[in-house]
């Protein structure tokens, strides 16, 4: 296993944009574990299987092959990257992510990504379950209002019609579902570094994390 950085936290804390920039600066691979859950939700939903149907999900998952490539994320041979960030998937993904069949099926795939070299992974349980032995773990958080405001602005930038109150309500719903589920809930690993990003710009978060990671990397070499 190479050098592994994990970044967990609730929706809208800025994990994926920060993780992507960190991976670029460090020249290491980025694993977006949320995209894997989204891809599975997209596929199962498309097959008409609900997140309550454990057996059907397990059956379908046995015939699904997920590949993570430079061009995006593939389910069997379909590149689903463009379809997994829709409002519908936002609404239904946490239901599928709470399933034992789904989480069990995806664990090996995520862990295997560290076999190919250094890695930065972001999600909800990357530091607690997927890579408990990671070299450095972060927990990124922010107030629900700050997170909702970022999502709201992001949607407006994308040209989507959005209502702030609805975005905030969805953030609360997903926080709730992700923290209360039985398997691998969103939690703050005790050995992680907590960063409250509410008052920080994205640049400030990137610089702070980058300096902490670099310090840890040189400690490991010494
Ligand atoms: O980008 P955002 O934080 O909104 O979401 P995401 O990282 O794309 O994750 C989407 C959903 O997948 C989350 O709300 C969780 O329900 C689930 N997820 C998870 O259960 N475990 C992970 N390691 C990553 C995501």
CATH code of the domain in which 130 resides: 3.40.50.300
Closest-CA residue, ligand 1 atom 21, reads 124
Instruction: List the Cα angle 148/16/82 in 5-degree steps.
Output: 90
Q: What is the pLDDT of residue 162?
A: 86
Q: What is the count of structural domains for the chain? A: 1
Q: What is the pLDDT of residue 151?
A: 86
Q: Tell whether the model's pLDDT for residue 222 goes beyond 60.
A: no
Which residues, 6+ apart, have CB-to-CB distance to 109 below 8 Å? 36, 66, 68
Domain range for 19 is 4-221
Q: For residue 160, report the distance from its CA to the centre of ligand 1, in Å.
A: 21
* Structure-token pair, residue 29: 């691979």
> Smallest Cα–Cα separation from 172: which of 160, 162, 184, 180?
180
Phi, psi of 6 (to 5 degrees): -115, 150
Torsion from C-alpha of 175, 180, 181, 183, nearest 10 degrees: 110
Closest-CA residue, ligand 1 atom 7, reads 34
Residues with CB under 6 A from ligand 1: 11, 15-16, 33-34, 37-38, 93-94, 97, 123-126, 174, 178
- Are 98 and 57 in contact, with CB atoms under 8 Å apart? no
Q: What is the mean pLDDT of the chain?
A: 93
Closest-CA residue, ligand 1 atom 8, reads 34
**What average pLDDT does this structure show over 77-90?**
89
């Amino acid at each position: 296993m190479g050098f592994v950085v994990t970044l967990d936290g609730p929706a809208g804390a800025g994990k994926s944009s920060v993780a992507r920039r960190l991976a670029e600066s460090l020249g290491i691979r980025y694993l977006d574990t949320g995209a894997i859950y989204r891809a599975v939700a997209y596929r199962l939903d498309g097959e008409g299987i609900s997140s309550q149907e454990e057996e059907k999900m397990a059956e379908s998952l046995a015939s699904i092959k997920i590949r993570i490539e430079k061009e995006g994320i593939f389910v069997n041979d379909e590149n689903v990257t463009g379809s997994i960030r829709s409002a519908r998937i936002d609404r239904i993904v946490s239901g599928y992510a709470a399933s034992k069949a789904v989480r069990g099926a995806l664990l090996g795939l995520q862990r295997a990504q560290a076999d190919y070299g250094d890695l930065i992974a972001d999600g909800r349980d990357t530091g607690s379950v997927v890579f408990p032995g990671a070299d450095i773990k972060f927990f990124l958080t922010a107030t629900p209002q700050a997170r909702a405001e970022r999502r709201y602005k992001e949607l407006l930038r994308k040209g989507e019609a959005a209502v702030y109150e609805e975005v905030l309500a969805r953030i609360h719903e997903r926080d709730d579902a992700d923290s209360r589920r039985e398997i691998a809930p969103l939690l703050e690993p005790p050995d992680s570094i907590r960063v409250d990003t509410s008052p920080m710009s994205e640049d400030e978060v990137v610089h702070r994390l980058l300096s902490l990671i670099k310090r840890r990397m040189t400690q490991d070499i010494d």
